[in-house]
Amino acid sequence: MTSLDQIYRMHGHVVLRRARRLLGNEDDAREVLQELFASLVARSDAFAGRSSITTWLYGATTNLCLNRLRDTKSRTQLLGARYADATEAQDPRAEALAAARLLLARMPEALAGVAVHYYIEEMTHEEIAEVLGCSRRHVGDLLVRVTEWLEAEEKNRC
């Protein structure tokens, strides 16, 4: 069995990179990393073993980041600053990522998770199904709902 220390050493950088990409802010990303591993210390049963630890960490990181994006304070900060930091502002996709974060903050949780996996992380339906613990068909259905939600948002904007 792998110890928590070993899991952190093997996967901590992946969690941090994912959180940094989703949140666009180093400090928030580090807080998510800390929160995730603190939850594993506090609740050793949080990882039930139904998937690989990598898959579980990937999903848990996404959920923590989406919750943080939904936080009113974070939303206000995102609206007030187009780019979270200078490093992100240099990324040619920075504007699109900032806009995506704003949409994700408003999107229903189930749809936001699958949208992140598919559009931002460019995962396949099969990979998403493994992370979410559902069928590929359900992933396809969720992506159709994401498209419908985005179309409705665009229509409401006009």
Q: How far apart are CA 100 and CA 120, in angstroms?
A: 9
User: By percentage, how much of the chain surpasses pLDDT 90?
Assistant: 23
Q: What is the mean pLDDT of residues 139-158?
A: 90
**Choice among 36-50, 58-72, 75-89, 139-153 with the minimum mean pLDDT:** 75-89
Average per-residue pLDDT for the chain = 81
Q: What is the mean pLDDT of residues 94-101?
A: 74
Please, what is the Cα angle at 60 between 153 and 31, to 5 degrees? Answer: 95
- pTM: predicted TM-score of the whole model, two decimal places: 0.60
Q: What is the mean pLDDT of residues 43-49?
A: 67
Q: In this structure, how many other beta carbons lie within 10 angstroms of the beta carbon of residue 126? A: 10
Contact 14, 121 (CB under 8 A): no
CATH architecture of 1-92: Orthogonal Bundle (1.10)
Q: Which of 70, 84, 101, 77 is nearest to 25 (CA)?
A: 84
Q: What is the pLDDT of residue 29?
A: 92
Q: What tens digit of pLDDT does each residue of 121-143 get?
A: 888 999 899 888 899 999 999 99
Q: What is the mean pLDDT of residues 94-123?
A: 83
Higher-confidence residue of 78 and 37: namely 37
Q: What is the pLDDT of residue 77?
A: 57
Q: Where are the domains of the chain?
A: 1-92, 107-158
Please, what is the Cα angle at 101 between 100 and 103, to 5 degrees? Answer: 65
Q: What is the pLDDT of residue 106?
A: 86
Q: What is the pLDDT of residue 44?
A: 66
**Choice among 9-18, 20-29, 48-57 with the minimum mean pLDDT:** 48-57
Q: What tens digit of pLDDT does each residue of 17-40 get?
A: 989 988 888 999 999 999 999 888
Question: What is the assigned CATH class of domain 107-158?
Answer: mainly alpha
